[in-house]
Structure 1
Amino acid sequence: MRIGITVLTDLPWREAAPRWRAAEEMGFAHAWTYDHLVWGGLPDAPWRAATPVLGAVAATTSRIGLGTLVASPNFRHPYQLLREAQALEDVSDGRFLLGLGTGGDLDSRLLAQPELTVRERVDRFQEDVDLLLRLRAEDHVDADGRWFSVRDARTLPPLARTPLLVAGSGPRSVRYAARVGDGWVTTGPPADTVEEWVAGLAAASRVLDEALEGRELPRYVLLDSAGTLFGGDGRTSLSSVEFFTDLVGRVGGLGFTDAITHWPRPEPPYAASERVLEQVAALLPTL
């Protein structure tokens, strides 16, 4: 099991940079951040754009994978995202992981975009990823979509080493991830208990297995489901070493290859002790 950690962009770089470097030194396989204009979990907090921060992290680390959880079509065109991914692939020497998802609707509302139904948001996301896949594979791309279009889009240099990790929890989105993704990302369902959450993950995993028809695909799970694990009681995956290892064991038993926690904060969301983080890091070689 590979273990990753998410570092939010609410802190200034002088405070955040030591955390990113520590994540690598502790032995985490990958480190992530959210990609939003404003994150709904901290709507009044300072916030920084994900891709410039990841560029800075890439320049100050050497081994750890770096990714977005998740880039969405809510405020960025897929052609723009391709260019940012190419830059991050280059700066990181191939360590960039492009997590893609439908995302929440806060960023869209901030840009006064028309309100979409959930189905329309998923339709838009799949059009976004379909075009991104074309841009990754072709040059001089022309496309006319409902939401995204390009004219003679030049795409060099090739995006050759960056996996597209497609997020989803519902059956339609999970099947889409199986069809087009280089990996699957999920938070699992909202749940009041660990058992209910694991059961939901198991159901989604079965959908993925059926769609894959025997193929293998990396599977990433966020252990802190929307910051409300579990039942809104504020307990996160790093509440204790025992709780963390129990969760990792459960998701590993479902076939997940990667599990992602969050850097502890002094207050919600993701409130936990950095001492627990250090203890968990010491166990990484055994997980």
Structure 2
Amino acid sequence: MRVGVVLLPEYAWPEARARWRALEELGFDHAWTYDHLAWRSLAGEPWLGTVATLAAAAAVTSRIGLGTFVTSPNFRHPVPWSREVMALDEISGGRFLCGVGAGATDVDATMLGRPPLSPKARVDRMTEFTGLLDRLLTEDHVDFSGEYFAAVDARTVSGRARRPRVPLIVAASGPRTLRLARRLGDGWVTIGPEGAGDEARWWAGVERLAESMDALEPGPGFQRHLSLDACPGYSLSSAARFAEMRERAAGLGFTDVIVHHPRAEGVYAGRVAVLEEVAQLRAGAAGGAEGSRQP
């Protein structure tokens, strides 16, 4: 199972650079950052731009996948965003992963002076955003007129972008978004059920979502990402807890799990030593599996 780590864009670059490099050196498969203008309890703290952060991370790494967790239609438009996607993929040497979601309901939902949307409207907007982005990354001379977005003869001229396009990892926790992920996504990411009051309810909701995705019969190679830190209780409180959660996710058919880099205090508070221990356990398990295949 692949493991990814979210690194919030809150650190001065010398510190952030060391953390992005360390994630690659520790052997993690992918690394992500949030796409927000500000975020929840950290809205009054330093918060840097997503694209510049990922471009800089691409320049100081060479192997690890790099992605948005997840792109927000709250303040993105598919036409300019498609250019950023192609640029990030070019700069990273084909390592960019474009997570796409409905847009959070917290501070950046109204920061540009727009009224908050209903849950249905947020999914409607996400559907437009994802469909238009898919076209912009695969077609030329794109015209589109929707309720939330429009494009007039949008050009897509890039001989170096991945074919058919950069992978889209679509966030989904309900029937409509699950179908959207199946239809347009190269993968699916979920935070599980909203409002789960305890861990048992959260895992039960995750199981139901996994069964719903199974019923849609995604093709081979379809990625299934589970954000472990949406579960009540931090996944990296100990290496043993992470290992138990990872195995449970694997049993539900997930191909990837995602955790958050430990912070000194507040949300995701923890110890970097646990992240390093998780990396060592993964390396040991991979080595053991390789050894078991030896004649």
Q: TM-score, structure 1 length as denominator? A: 0.94
Runs of 4+ in 1 over 6 A off after TM superposition: none
Tell me what 2:84 maps to: 84
- Identical aligned residues as a percent: 49
Deviation at 1:216, TM superposition (A): 5.0
The superposition leaves residues 143-181 of structure 1 with CA deviations (integer Å, 9 ceiling, x where unpaired) of 111111111111111642520000011122112111111
Q: Equivalent residue of 1:67, what SS?
A: strand
- Pairwise mapping of residues 237-256 of structure 1 onto structure 2 (< 5 A)? 237-256=235-254
Contact map agreement 1:4 1:261 (CA 8 A) in 2: yes
CA RMSD of aligned residues (A): 1.4
In structure 1, what is the Cα distance between the partners aligned to 2:198 and 2:190? Answer: 17
Distance 1:41 1:174, change over 3 A: farther
The superposition leaves residues 27-64 of structure 1 with CA deviations (integer Å, 9 ceiling, x where unpaired) of 00000000011112411111001111000000110000
Tell me what 2:188 maps to: 184
User: Does 2:227 match 1:222?
Assistant: yes
User: Does 2:4 match 1:4?
Assistant: yes
Tell me what 1:153 maps to: 154
Q: Which amino acid aligns with 1:144?
A: S
Contact map agreement 1:3 1:284 (CA 8 A) in 2: no
Deviation at 1:213, TM superposition (A): 5.9
The superposition leaves residues 87-113 of structure 1 with CA deviations (integer Å, 9 ceiling, x where unpaired) of 000000000000000121332300011
Distance 1:196 1:120, change over 3 A: same
User: Does 2:137 match 1:139?
Assistant: no
- Pairwise mapping of residues 103-182 of structure 1 onto structure 2 (< 5 A)? 103-105=103-105, 106-157=107-158, 159-160=161-162, 161-182=165-186
In structure 2, what is the Cα distance between the partners aligned to 1:30 and 1:203? Answer: 26
Q: Which amino acid aligns with 1:222?
A: S
Deviation at 1:243, TM superposition (A): 0.6
Tell me what 2:291 maps to: none
In structure 2, what is the Cα distance between the partners aligned to 1:141 and 1:214? Answer: 27
Contact map agreement 2:103 2:109 (CA 8 A) in 1: no
Distance 1:213 1:28, change over 3 A: closer
Q: TM-score, structure 2 length as denominator? A: 0.91
Tell me what 2:55 maps to: 55
Contact map agreement 1:124 1:147 (CA 8 A) in 2: yes
Q: Which amino acid aligns with 1:96?
A: F
In structure 2, what is the Cα distance between the partners aligned to 1:65 and 1:98? Answer: 10
Deviation at 1:214, TM superposition (A): 6.0
- Pairwise mapping of residues 33-44 of structure 1 onto structure 2 (< 5 A)? 33-44=33-44
Q: Equivalent residue of 2:235, what SS?
A: coil
Contact map agreement 1:79 1:135 (CA 8 A) in 2: yes
Q: Which amino acid aligns with 1:272?
A: G
Give unmatched runs, 5+ long, in structure 1: none
Tell me what 2:281 maps to: 283
In structure 1, what is the Cα distance between the partners aligned to 2:229 and 2:132? Answer: 30
Question: Which shows bigger deviation, 136-145 or 151-160?
Answer: 151-160
Q: Equivalent residue of 2:225, what SS?
A: strand
Contact map agreement 1:78 1:132 (CA 8 A) in 2: yes
Corresponding pairs, count: 280
Question: Which shows bigger deviation, 205-214 or 54-63?
Answer: 205-214
